[in-house]
Structure formats: C-alpha cells, structure tokens
Amino acid sequence: MPCLLAVHKAPRHVVCAGISRLETPVLDRHENSSDHIQCCVVLEQWHLNKTLSADMEAAVRKEANYWRQVVDRLINVTLMLAGSNLAFRGHREHGDEVKQAEKSGNFQSVITLLARYDPELDKLLSIPQGSVKYLSPKIQNELINILARRVKDDILTDVKAAPFFSLMVDTTQDISKTDQLSEVIRYVTIETDAAGKPAKLKVNESFVGFVAVEDQSARGLCDTIVKNCIDENNLDLTKLRGQGYDGAACMSGIYSGVRARISTKQPKAVYVHCAAHNLNLGLNDAISDVSDVSIFFGVVEQIYVFFGHSIKRWNMLSLQCESWPHYVLKRLCPTRWSSRYDCLVALRYRYIDVLKCLTTINLMSKKKDETANALNIRKKMECFDFVLILVMMQKVLEATHGVSKLLQSPECDLSSAFDLIKSCHETFQNIRKDYDAIRDTAVDLAREWGIKDNFEDRRLKKARRFVDELCQDESPKSAENRFRVNTFLATMDRACTQIKEHFLSMNSVAMTFGILFPSTLLSASDDDLYAAAESLVKQYDTDISSAFPSQLLSFRLCFHSQLSTKSTILEVADLFLIDYHALSSTFSDVCTVYILLLTLPVTVATCERSFSKLKLIKNFLRSTMSQECLSDLAVLSIENHRAKQLDTSSIVDTFAQEKA
C-alpha cells in the first residue's frame, strides 16, 4: 500500500508489473529494501498532514522571508524620504544600469548605499536586470499609497471614536497653478496608560489630505468639502460641531457662503473665524489708513532692498556689527503683520549700524545711483518722526507677536483666545497712554546718532472755515501735536477699535460657553449659572440632557478649591477627566460640554502649516506630480509621528495581498 501511494518513490517493477507469486523471500526482500522504507516514511508524513516535499517547503519559506525583509527595508526608506520631503526619483531612471546609476533618484541611491552594509539588499541588486526587484516607480507609488492609507485610517479611527469633531479648511495655489484645499480635522482624545487608566487629554488637529478645487464658488467649495472630507471618509455629519475658515466672503458669508451651506446640513456646526487672520486684519486695517505709518513701512522695505540686493553692501553691513550682531535685517511680510516684529526689532537694534553703512556708501561709492539711494534713505532715517514711529510700532507689534504665536497652538481653546485678545486690547490702551515714555525712548535712540528731537514742520492745509465751526475743530499748529494726534493717537485708536470689531463673532461664541471658563465658573451666582446652563441645553439638546445645570452646580461645589488654581479650559477638563476620572460618569454632561468646547476651532494655523509642506513637496522640479501622490506624501510628511509608529509587518502583509 505505501508503494502504491508513493509511486515516485517505489520500485518501478513492483508498482507497474507487480508480483505474480506471493513468495515470502520476495516480500521480505521488498519490505526490507530502502525504497519501501522511503515510501512508508512518505505515507507517515501524509498521515501527519505534512508536506510531501519538506525541502521544497523550506525553500519557499526561505524565499518568502527574504522578500519580506526586502519589502520591510523599502518601506522604511519610503518613510524616511516622505518624512524629509525629498524626491523619490531622479531625472531619468530608464536604460542600462550604468546610465541609470548616474541619474538615479534618492530612492535608488539610498538602496544602493544600504546595499554596501546589508547583504539582503546587496543580493537584491545583484539580481539580473529584468527580474522582479520591487524598485520600480510604480512600486514606489504603491508603497506611498499603502502607508498614507494606513496613517489616514488611524486618524479616522480616532475621529470616529471621538464624540465630536470640527472641520478646518483653507486653500492656496501650488506651483502648477492648481487650487489646493487643505483638510484638517480637530477632535479630542483621551490617552491611556499601560493599566488602561486615563493619562492625558489631548486636542488633535490632524491633516487628512489635499484636494484639487475646480469650482471656487461657495457651492463648489461646499460640495468638495462634503464629498471629499465627510462622505469619502465615512464621517458622521451629525457629530460635526465646528467650522474653521478664514474671512473670505465665499467661506464666511452668512447667507450663501460655505459657512451657511454647511450650517443648513448641520445647524450645530458653529462657525469660528480664524483668530490669527482676524488679528492680522485688525492690524492691517488700523495701520494702512495712517499715511505716516504706511510711508514708514515703505522706507523699511526700501532699506532691506538696498542692502539685500547687493552682496557687497550686505557684507559691509554684516561687518559693521558694533551692536547686536545677531540681529539681521529681514524683508517685510506683506500678509502677516505679526511677523513684521522681527523685522522692526532688527532695525531697532541695528539702527546705528545701518546709518554708518549708508554714510560710508555715500562718501566712498563711485556709483551715482548707489550714492543717491544711500543719501535718500539716510535722510529719511535721520528724521525724528521715523525714529518715533519705529519705537511705537515695535511696541505695538510686540504686543501682538506673542499673542499670534499662542493662538496658533493646536491646544489653544476659546477661553485662552478670548483672554489673549483681551490682554492685547488692554496693552494697546496702555501704549496709547504712554506717549511720553515712548518719546523718551525714541529721543535716547536718536541722540546716539546726533539727531535732534524736532519734528518735521510741514505746511498746513488751509481749509475754509464756516460760521458755526468751533475753534476746537482746527488742526494742531505744533508739529509735535500734529504727530501725536494724527499719527500716534490715530494708530492706537484704530488698533483698539479694529481689535474689538474683528473679534465680535468670536466673542459671541465665547459668551455662549462663558459659564465654562474658570473665572466665570467661580464668580457667577447660582441663578446666573443655572440660567446660562439651561440656554446651553436648548442649543445642544441632542448632546446634553436637562440634568446639565444641576450637574454644573454640583461640579463647582465639589471642585471649588481646585478650580481656583485652573486658568484654561484644558486644565479644567483634565481635572475631572484625568485626575478624578472616576467621577466622569457622575458629571457626564459636564464632561460632554467641556469636550465640545475643546473641539471648537480657534485658528486655521494647521492648514497654513500644511501649505509650507506643500511648497516643499511640490516644488519647481516636481511640478508634474499627480494629485493622489501629492496628498499621500503630504499625509506622511505632516503626520510623520503617526507614520513612524506603523507596524511594518502588517504593511508587508497588505502589500503582499495587493501583489498576489
């Protein structure tokens, strides 16, 4: 029987011809033969469900393990290049191996370098040309897509597990003149420790991809957002609680903008105008109407252009480093006023050095145009008006610089933003009262160069005086009084007014949740707190129950001493979600409302930061990149901390299934 089953192992004459006579010596000789014994072993292996060819199985397993190691290395190289925003392919990677080696891209070059120290990759490169190596551009794109999908799936899993989420979008134009829509989702997660206990409350702003926008109208943008960010990601629109956009009319329009169209689909999705954009708009509107300040910034830009466009002049200024050598002149940013602070600080502390260089160029240069430009700039800088505006604008931008930085943090909540804007407004009011102190600082700076503290006397425009006109309506006759009224006070008054007007919408949203702010929660009376909580229940009736007012009063009573040490919403939420997590079920509605408040967006700075990655990924040399590849590379680059935590073994399995 064993010989019949294992025909390839049994003697040919026994299986084919058989035995005519059952003679004992013949059977004994056959049973003791090596062929019969091998057939018995094969039968026993078959009984034990083992492969008939162990050598072949071992060879297949060894080959599979080798290719798993190869793909694992390719995945890590892909993650490294994507995280560093480097190109994968070179100019041309076709043709013979010699030419390909000369023009190979970063992916091929890294593999070649690693092959010097890795025997597995060295064996891979020694495979004859035309064989499977998994190094082609198609395989590179497939690996990028698999990794980006896995990172995106991890993000969406967290978003779907969160009770609420907010949507933040912004658009920009890439190098190929395509309008790219950046999609960012804000949500709250609770991280646990090894024992499964809550360890940290984290506010996340996760990037999910770029989308090419073809229709820039409000309807087109709304359809693109709903289709690509909500529907394709299988997100529940009923959990959307916030919208974060800039101030463009098509985005923030209250009647037909994207904000209004999303609100018709989900009325509880509150719109929050980006606080960072509001701050910039407030400064721009306040300063652009004051002619003296506008002329001042024109001179500042002229100074940078004069030195920056000449290597010789720039080196001369660099060598002239008697004071504050680490400050370098910078170009004025046309859009971000808060970033102009660095420019003015550099000019403030290098003021004497700049004047010395201009004087040297004016005396030593043999070029008429250069001499004339240096003399023109020096005369403008030697005016006391210029020095005083420099000190004044440094103070103004100093007040907004730190606020702008803090507003751009993902962990910034509405209460923190409200307090920051309030402090900025108070600082502007204090600067308005400190004219004499600012003037004294400007006088000290001017005296270092021998500039007199005299204001430029300009010819007054004579206007016709009417019968009922009062003498108080006349403009000041003194040059200093005219500067104080028409420049200093006008700038500060406009700044205070614009800050209040641009943040009216945020103030209304903040007032809705004002009872949750630590200061209000401690100071409000029981009746006021109960009434405000009831109005919040009416607005979010599907999220919180009618027991919320009583829970809030009980929460304040239980944690009154701890609340006195908290200053932000995040700190208060940490109190009962992390420190006293056992009581979270007792104050379930309070937990829900605090998570909802933390979910609401404050700025779209994360979208703006994704544009910086966009410029690094899709640059002039990679302008023909496909939209899918661009979005995948951006996900791997921006969410690089998630990509580094991926399980490469499971990704190898996914790659093997797709290639099977």
DSSP sequence for 173-193: E-TTS-EEEEEEEEEEEEEE-
Please provide the average confidence, as pLDDT, over all residues in the chain. 86
Altogether, the residues listed in the chain come to a count of: 660
* pLDDT interval class at 16 (50, 70, 90): very low
If residue 245 lies in a helix (H) or strand (E), which one and from where to where?
strand 240-245
* pLDDT interval class at 50 (50, 70, 90): low
Does residue 516 carry a pLDDT above 60? yes
- Global pTM value: 0.84
| Per-residue model confidence (pLDDT) at position 466 | 67
| Per-residue model confidence (pLDDT) at position 337 | 67
Lowest-pLDDT range, 24-28, 389-393, 479-483?
24-28
- DSSP class of residue 9 equals T
Does residue 65 carry a pLDDT above 80? yes
- pLDDT per residue as tens digits for the range 550-602: 999 999 998 888 888 888 898 898 888 888 888 888 899 999 999 999 999 99
* pLDDT interval class at 60 (50, 70, 90): confident
Does residue 114 carry a pLDDT above 90? yes
| Per-residue model confidence (pLDDT) at position 506 | 82
Alpha helices in 408-503 (DSSP H): 414-433, 435-447, 479-483, 490-502
- pLDDT per residue as tens digits for the range 263-283: 999 999 999 988 888 888 888
| Per-residue model confidence (pLDDT) at position 594 | 93
- Integer distance in angstroms from the first to the last C-alpha of the chain? 39
- DSSP class of residue 367 equals -
Side-chain-side CA neighbours of residue 257 (13 Å)? 15
DSSP sequence for 42-96: HHHHHHTT--S-HHHHHHHHHHHHHHHHHHHHHHHHHHHHHHTT--SS-S---SS
| Per-residue model confidence (pLDDT) at position 504 | 81
